[in-house]
Structures are given as C-alpha cells and as structure tokens.
Amino acid sequence: MTDLGLAPTTSRPLTFDVLMPAPADGSTRARLGHLHTPHGDVQTPVFMPVGTNATVKAMDPDDLVEVGAQIILCNTYHLYLRPGHERIERLGGLHKFMAWRRPILTDSGGYQVVSLGDFRSVDDDGVTFRSHLDGSIHRFTPELSVAVQEALGSDIAVCLDQPVPPHASSRREVAAAMIRTHSWAERCMSVHHRADQALFGIVQGGLEPDLRAESTRMIASMPFDGICIGGLAGDESAAQRREALDVAVPLLADDPRPRYLMGLGSPADLLDAVDAGIDMFDSVLPSRVARNGTLWVPEGRLNLRNTRFLDDDRPIQDGCRCRACRSFTRAYLAHLLRADELLFYRLATCHNLTYVADFMERIRMALAQGRFPELVREQASLRDNPSTDGLPA
C-alpha cells in the first residue's frame, strides 16, 4: 500500500493503492487502483454518476447499487442553494439525507458558479453570483466552499477553482485563472479540517502546455489527497484534451495519489483518458442522453425516437444485466418515451449507467490481465465501423 505522499497514512481519511502500475514499456499510462474512503472502497479506474440535487436523476439508492455505482458525485453549488448545506448537516449529513451508504465526492461549486456567465463576477477573493433558482445574490469563497462541503460530509471534497473555457479564453485569461486557482487551493487547504473527509486540489492551465505543467507542479506540491485535472471536458477536441493530459500526467508519474479528470463521460473519451493515466471520472452525459432517448450499446448508440424501434421486440442490449434489458423490449421503451412516461427515464438511466459501469469493469479487467492496449485497439476498430445510429455519445 502506498501512502499519500506528504502526510502519514494513518492520519488520512483516504488512501489509494496502485494495484497494477502503468507498464514500464510505455505502451499506456493506464493503471489499476483501489481507493479506500470512510464509506468504503472504490476500484479504479472508476466512473462516478452525478447526483446534482442529492439524487442521481430518476434513480434510487438501490438502483445505483444495482447498476454498479461505487461512488457518486454531488454538486455543492446546488445543495448550498437548495435545500441548504446547514439543513443537510442538521439532518445528519448528505449520506443519511439521501440514504446512500457508499462514498460521495462533492465538487467545489467552481464550475457551476463560473459557468453562470453574466450572472457572476469573479475577483481574487471569490465569486459573486445570482442563484439560478430565484435570482438571489450569493458569494462563494474558497473558505465557504470548504465549509459547505464539510457540512455536507462528503468523503472527498474539492478545492474551489476558476475553470475557463479553452476556446473562449486568451492565454492571459488562462494564466490569470490558473494563478487564482492556485491561491484558492492554498486557502482551501488551510481551512479544511474535517478529519473524515479527503481534499483534492485542481490543476488548471487550459491548453497551454507550459501553464498546464506549471499548474500540475504547483498543485502536486501541496499535500492534497488527490489531484483533479480541471478545465477540460469542455469545448476542446479529443486530441487537444489528450495533449493536455500528456503534459500533466507524466509530471505525476511518481505521485501515488489518484488522478481525477472532471466532467468526462463518453466511453471513447473515458478509454482514452484511462490510457493517458486518469483514475477517476464523473459526468452527467450517460444519464442525460438516456433521458433524451439515446441508449448506449457495444456497437454504438440507439436513438429510441427512431420509428424502427416501435415494433422491435428485442431488449436494448442482448445479455445486459440492467433492469431495462432484463424485462422490457425496445418497443416498450420507445412507447414509454413517446408517452413521456416517468418509467422511461428510470429504465433508460439504469441502462446507460450500467453500460458505463460495465465498460469501466472491462477496462479494469483488461488492466488486471495486462491486455489494456488490446482493448484500446479493439474499441478503435469498432468506432471505425459503426452498425447503429452512431458511436456512444
């Protein structure tokens, strides 16, 4: 077991074991790991479903266990506004509130707050923003973000950062946001005290290789429990994202801490980022596209709005273990979607989250068996020859 670098293992709320390090031949930076948290263990690489309002949309905790969710993400910004972090704390914390016994990671609110556009202003001390619910004015600082996350009682908290959209930002803006993110990281670190909660730092630096490298070194120099790679999974291309990861991850090669790429969710993107050395992911993508009628299968994706599914008596995916595929046909799901029936949203979400969970399990199996590069090649050849409505996501 590897400890977390700068702090003694025994005092940390989170430990990370690299069970299978990246091979020395450089064929991949992918690695197999095991994360220990106060609410249980997580096998990595892992995908975290998103439970914005203390619920993964349309799922209950039993559904999440059934799809194979090991850990979920909840949004600090949303829970701060409604029902309020102090209320959740009074009610016994976020785990008890939503009846989820497994680990929870909370984001910092930075992404949500900064993405409000005209409804916010950022300064060195923090962010002032208008609530998307009622227009009321609020202010997030690094200190408040940590306090909110401590009140929620997540297993893993994350520093407040200032992400910037790569394509809409000048080098000067990227640099300024990076410097501010570093300053906020130090402030978060200095006020975070909850002993049963880990704290992750966030690397920024956009698509500028030197800034990305500088930010990686800076964040890695601090005694965080894990390293988030922020400011990606936005409007950059897959190649640009890979270039940024190829700058950041090698600088963390000897760093024993988990690496978390925020906001990525399509199977092809997940596979590439695992190959680049990432351990943790989150995204609303699988569940959001599911609710819109797009279901992921090994051959690509099915759009249930297509009329050809109305008479299709096959399950979404042969052999799939999910609740939708065990009992229902494509025809029934296509009917529920057209009738705007609530059951559709649950069944479709069950399928796509199961698909991603099983995809990550395949990745972990391949890593354990030393055949991850074959899996990457196999998936690439599938992508060149889609037999469905398109590639996953």
Closer to its own copies by Cβ: residue 289 or 334: 334
Residue 348 binding its own copies, by CB under 8 A: no
Going by C-beta distance under 8 Å and a sequence separation of 6 or more, which residues neighbour residue 290? 345, 348, 349, 351, 352, 353
Shortest distance, position 317 Cβ to its own copies, whole Å: 16
CB 282 within 8 A of CB 29: no
Task: Show the binding pattern over residues 11-40: x = contacts its own copies (CB under 8 A), - = does not.
Answer: ------------------------------
Binding of its own copies by 343 (CB under 8 A): yes
Q: For residues 43-72, which are near its own copies according to CB under 8 A?
A: 53-55, 57-61
Q: What span, in angstroms and rounded, lies between the C-alpha atoms of 227 and 107?
A: 13
Query: Of 326, 312, 319, 230, which Cα lies nearest the Cα of 278?
Result: 230
DSSP labels, 37-78: ETTEEEEESEEE-B-TTSS-TT--HHHHHHHT-S-EEE-HHH
Alpha helices in the chain (DSSP H): 61-67, 76-81, 85-90, 94-98, 110-114, 142-152, 171-191, 209-220, 238-251, 267-275, 285-291, 323-327, 330-338, 342-368, 372-383
How is residue 220 written in tokens? 């890695």
CA-based nearest residue to 65, from 321, 273, 268, 271: 321
CB of 342 to its own copies, least distance (A): 4
* Catalytic center residues: 107, 282
Question: Is residue 351 close enough to count as binding its own copies by CB under 8 A?
Answer: no
Q: Which is nearer to its own copies, 85 or 182 (CB)?
A: 85
- Reported as type and span, the H/E element at residue 201 is strand 198-203
Site for its own copies in 269-328 (CB under 8 A): 310-311, 313, 323, 327-328
Interaction of residue 388 with its own copies, rule CB under 8 A: no
Binding residue for its own copies (CB under 8 A) from 18, 331, 382, 391?
331
CB of 296 to its own copies, least distance (A): 20
Closest CA to 54 of 35, 27, 72, 36: 72
Q: Which stretch binds its own copies (CB under 8 A): 84-92, 113-121, 185-193, 197-205?
A: 84-92
- Tell me the window of 35-43, 250-258, 340-348, 360-368 that interacts with its own copies (CB under 8 A): 340-348
Q: Is 171 in the site for its own copies (CB under 8 A)?
A: no
Count of residues that bind its own copies according to CB under 8 A: 37
Distances (CA, A) of 201 to 41, 78, 86, 261, 387: 21, 21, 24, 12, 41
If binding is defined by CB under 8 A, does position 102 make contact with its own copies?
no
How many other C-beta atoms lie within 10 A of the C-beta of residue 236? 18
| Residue from 332, 355, 359, 372 binding its own copies (CB under 8 A) | 332
Q: Per CB under 8 A, does 7 bind its own copies? A: no
In the complex, least distance from residue 318 CB atom to its own copies, rounded to whole angstroms: 17
| Least CB distance to its own copies at residue 109 (A) | 17
Q: How far is the CB of 365 from its own copies (least distance, A)?
A: 30
Coil, strand or helix at 216 = helix
Residue 77 CB, shortest distance to its own copies, in Å, is 13
Main-chain phi, psi angles of 192, to 5 degrees: -80, 120
Query: Quick one: the chain helix, strand, coil %, rounded to 5?
Result: 45, 15, 40
For its own copies, the binding residue among 1, 7, 27, 92 (CB under 8 A) is 92
Give residues in contact with its own copies (CB under 8 A).
53-55, 57-61, 82-83, 87, 90-92, 97-99, 310-311, 313, 323, 327-329, 331-332, 334-336, 338-339, 341-343, 345-347
